[in-house]
Structures are given as structure tokens and as C-alpha cells.
Amino acid sequence: MNDRELTKKIKELKSKKNAIIVAHNYQIPEVQDIADFTGDSLELSKKCAAAKENIIVFCGVKFMAETAKILSPDKKVLIPKVNAGCQLADSITEKEVDEYRKKYPDAAIVGYVNTSASVKAMLDYCVTSANAVDIVKKIPNNRIVFLPDKNLGLWVKKNIKDKEIIIHNGRCYVHHKFTKEDIINARTSHPEAKIIVHPECLPEVVELADAVASTSGMIKYVKESPVKKFIIGTEEGHIHRLKKERPDAEFYSLGNAQICFNMKLTRLKDVYESLEKEQYEISLSEEIIRKAKIPIERMVNL
């Protein structure tokens, strides 16, 4: 089947099965375009929870589909590629969280949404890249263990001076590739452009950017800015989304376009097969769902 036929079949199956398709901002353009919603991981999970459909096809990586399942335990959540993981989420284990808990008993353990469901079940608070600074500011504890992303942790630390912040040494290999030289070169080639980078980038990159934002924050920034040229320091798939929001503006990747290979695994044919065979279902124990919901709800309530 070609892409046109696949798109038609996907639409038919979607309404026949009462399903919804959501896609992260880093997915390939064809998958973003077939989705009912595109967004960051938490935005999508909230959309799934509010949706009336019973089946959710989550085009993204596993921790995202798990977060959707935690927030929609009665729905069938499917991930088209069972092996789509996240190296950052894999950089923290339950054993390590346990060790932090024992070593710093007075600390609040704060975890990025990029964590597995079983790690989430051990957290005090969950945060996203969009709200990490605000949430950590509001947590009553003076000592915080922040995991798993070191660069996001350093960004939080830079913005919060009155708390002790202990940071896990995880990283996103995609965002880690942007360099200070990339920013210096971009300023020379496009002096009129605004440079926006993700907080998962290295501190020296974040330091030189015009704005630091999550993927949803970048969308908000470009929609509100009068500028017509932007340099984007995040996974290259996000430029497809940004162009849709600002068709009058020009977008360039910072340095070399960086790709998250797990985010590119899902093709239209996988979305079709996922709907047709109802595969691969995310299954979490009731206990993990109950426990993992607590840090997410605390974040939403703060």
C-alpha cells in the first residue's frame, strides 16, 4: 500500500474501532499529519485521558505511552513500535532511586516525565521540561534529588538558588550533541534569527540561546514572536510542527539536524498494523498505575 492508501485505511479503521491517534512532536511528518493531536508527552497523555475513544494509538516512545496508560487505565493504549524506547528514561533504575531515597531521606525525589512507569511509581513529584523550574520552586522540601537528566537538572538549579539540588547523571544523546560553536556559527550566519533550545541541551548551549523551552514552549514562543527566522535546538522532527504553526517564518536546525532514532521508528504502516491488530498493548499492574499517578497528580495540583 502507498501512503495515500494507508492514510485512507487508517482513517477507516480509526472510526470503525473508536480509536484516537496521538503523535509526539518528533515523529516523522506523515505520522504527525495522520494524528488527531500532536504535542509533548504530557499534553498528549492529558488529551488521551480526556478523549471519549476507547483505543489510543500512541506514536512516540514507551515512557510516553505508559504515562498515557497511567492517566487512562481503563483505555486500551497501543504503541505501534514495541521497541521504541528512550535512552534518557533508561538511564535511571528503580535500584538507583531506592539508593537516593536511603542516602537523602529528607529530600523530595523529583523525576522528569521521561522515566519508566516503575520509576515514576517511586517518585514524590513528576515534572516536565515545560514546568520543572516552577514545580521545584513550589515543593516545600529544601533538598531535592532531580533525575534523570543532568542538563535539565542544572537548568533548574540555575533558576533556583535557595534549595540544595542533587542531580542524577543521565542525558539525552540527541540534545547532548548541540555545541556552543553551533550557536556562535548560527549567530554569524543568521544574525536576525532567534535561537531557541531545549533544556536537555548542555549548559553552555542554554547559556547562549535567546530562549530555553520545551517543545510546547517553543510553539508558544514562535506563535507570539514577530520574528520571521528561528534556529531550533531540539530533535529535527519538531520543525515540521513549528512550520505548521508559523508558515510565514523560516526554521533551521541548530548545527547539524539531530535525530532521535527511536522517535523515527514509527511509520504509517506501523500505525495501520497497530490499529488493525490492536498491538502492542501497554500493560501495567494496578499497583504501578496507582503509585505512578501520585507524583503526576502532585505536579498537576501544584
For binding to ligand 13P (CB under 6 A), which residues are involved?
A: 25, 40-41, 86, 114, 128-129, 172, 200, 214-215
Q: Position of cell 541541551?
A: 201
CA distances to 230, 242, 254 from 189, rounded to whole Å, are: 12, 21, 11
Binding mask of the shown chain, residues 88 to 127, with x at each position contacting ligand SF4 by CB under 6 A? x-------------------------x-------------
Task: Indicate whether 42 belongs to the interface with ligand SF4 (CB under 6 A).
Answer: no
> Which of 182/235 has CB closer to ligand SF4?
235
Closest CA to 297 of 124, 149, 116: 124
**Three-state DSSP class for 62?**
helix
Binding mask of the shown chain, residues 166 to 205, with x at each position contacting ligand SF4 by CB under 6 A? ------x-x-------------------------------
- Of residues 25, 129, 215, 262, which one binds ligand SF4 by CB under 6 A? 262
CA distances to 25, 70, 241 from 254, rounded to whole Å, are: 17, 35, 16
Q: At its nearest, how many Å lie between ligand SF4 and the CB of residue 201?
A: 11
**Three-state DSSP class for 192?**
coil
Verify cis geometry, omega within 30 degrees of 0, for the bond prior to 148: yes
Q: How far apart are CA 4 and CA 235, in angstroms?
A: 26
- What DSSP character marks residue 259? -
Partner from ligand 13P, ligand SF4, none contacting 25, C-beta within 5 to 8 A by type: ligand 13P
> Which residues are near ligand SF4 by CB under 6 A?
61, 86-88, 114, 172, 174, 235, 260, 262-263
